[in-house]
């Protein structure tokens, strides 16, 4: 599903965020990305949906090498990947409902199915009664849940979540984890960057640990492994 071969990423300011990464993630896997702040987790994620391009190496997604995909086909790649951005990236002028609906509008879903699907997802993340609010009227955790709703609303093949529980209280965090586990059980691949020792050690899954741009550990049913 997702393969990286000798992938390095050096930003234009000279910082090398990832260094010769080799990894393979199968369809339907649930993967935690762990590692200290600044280790390169977000950079790893950005390469997958092509917000950033690797400086070196090959990235293959669904059998297609990213560097060989034509610029105008990139939107279609991104529609198969739902991303929960670390900074949410919500459209500030749109309501919660519209933000989530947006991911369906760009793929030209019929208005009727948009309505049904968005309500469904908002209920799933527990925001059905805040549908008409705009992001600035929401708490950080609520905004995060809007971002999660938007990422999963079009049933993507892969969901990449960059610290999706970073701003949530334990209860809501478990709620979100339930949602992610649920869509994972239906076949969606999940990649989740997290600093939550508690979650990683409780819901045991594959753990990929990145430090200083290198993969230092890749373990099925692994531990968080860092003291908090």
Ligand X SMILES: Nc1ncnc2c1ncn2[C@@H]1O[C@H](COP(=O)(O)OP(=O)(O)OP(=O)(O)O)[C@@H](O)[C@H]1O
Question: Rounded to the nearest whole angstrom, what is the least distance from the CB of residue 14 to ligand X in the complex?
Answer: 8
Between 15 and 91, name the residue whose CB sits nearer to other proteins.
Answer: 91
Residues 184-203 that bind ligand X (CB under 6 A): none
* Residue-level length of the chain: 228
Q: Which of 4, 7, 39, 42 binds Mg ion (CB under 5 A)?
A: 42
Between 38 and 140, name the residue whose CB sits nearer to ligand X.
Answer: 38
Q: Which does 145 bind (CB under 5 to 8 A by kind): other proteins, Mg ion, ligand X, none?
A: none
* Options 13-21, 73-81, 138-146, 183-191: segment touching other proteins (CB under 8 A): 73-81
Q: Which residue shows structure tokens 């939550």? A: 196
Residues 22-41 that bind ligand X (CB under 6 A): 35, 37-41
B/e letters for 152-163, b = 16+ CB within 10 Å, e = fewer, are bbbebbbbbbbb
36 touches other proteins by CB under 8 A: no
Element (H, E) at 183: helix 170-185
165 touches ligand X by CB under 6 A: no
Measure the CA–CA gap between 184 and 178, rounded to whole angstroms.
10
Q: Which does 216 bind (CB under 5 to 8 A by kind): other proteins, ligand X, Mg ion, none?
A: none
The neighbouring-strand residues paired with 190 are: 30, 159
Q: Which of 24, 27, 64, 89 binds other proteins (CB under 8 A)?
A: 89
Q: Is the sign of the CA dihedral 95, 97, 100, 106 positive or negative?
A: negative
50 touches ligand X by CB under 6 A: no
3-state helix/strand/coil string of 88-108: CCCCCCCCHHHHHHHHHHCCC
42 touches ligand X by CB under 6 A: yes
DSSP assignment of 107-138, as one string?
TT--HHHHHHHHHHHHHHTT-GGGTT--GGGS
Q: Which residue shows structure tokens 């805040």? A: 130
Residue numbers at the binding site for other proteins (CB under 8 A):
49, 51, 72, 75-76, 78-79, 83, 85, 89-91, 93, 102-103, 106-107, 150
Residue numbers at the binding site for Mg ion (CB under 5 A):
41-42, 86
């Amino acid at each position: 599903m997702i393969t990286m071969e000798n992938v390095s990423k050096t930003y234009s300011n000279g910082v090398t965020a990832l260094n010769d990464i080799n990894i393979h993630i199968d369809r339907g896997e649930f993967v935690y990305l762990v590692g200290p702040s600044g280790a390169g987790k977000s950079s790893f994620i950005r390469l997958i949906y092509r917000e950033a391009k690797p400086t070196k190496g090959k990235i293959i997604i669904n059998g297609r090498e990213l560097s060989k995909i034509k610029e105008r086909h990139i939107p279609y790649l991104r529609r198969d990947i739902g991303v929960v951005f670390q900074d949410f990236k919500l459209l500030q002028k749109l309501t919660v409902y519209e933000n989530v609906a947006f991911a369906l509008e760009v793929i030209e879903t019929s208005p009727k199915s948009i309505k049904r699907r968005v309500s469904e997802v908002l209920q799933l993340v527990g925001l059905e009664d805040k549908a008409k609010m705009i992001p600035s009227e929401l708490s950080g955790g609520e905004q995060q849940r809007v971002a999660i709703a938007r990422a999963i609303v079009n049933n993507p093949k892969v969901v990449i979540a960059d610290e999706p529980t970073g701003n949530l209280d334990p209860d809501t965090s478990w709620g979100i984890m339930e949602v992610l586990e649920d869509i994972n059980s239906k076949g969606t691949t999940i990649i989740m960057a997290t600093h939550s020792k508690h979650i990683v050690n409780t819901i045991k899954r594959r753990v990929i640990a990145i430090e200083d741009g290198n993969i230092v550990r890749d373990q099925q049913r692994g531990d968080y492994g860092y003291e908090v």
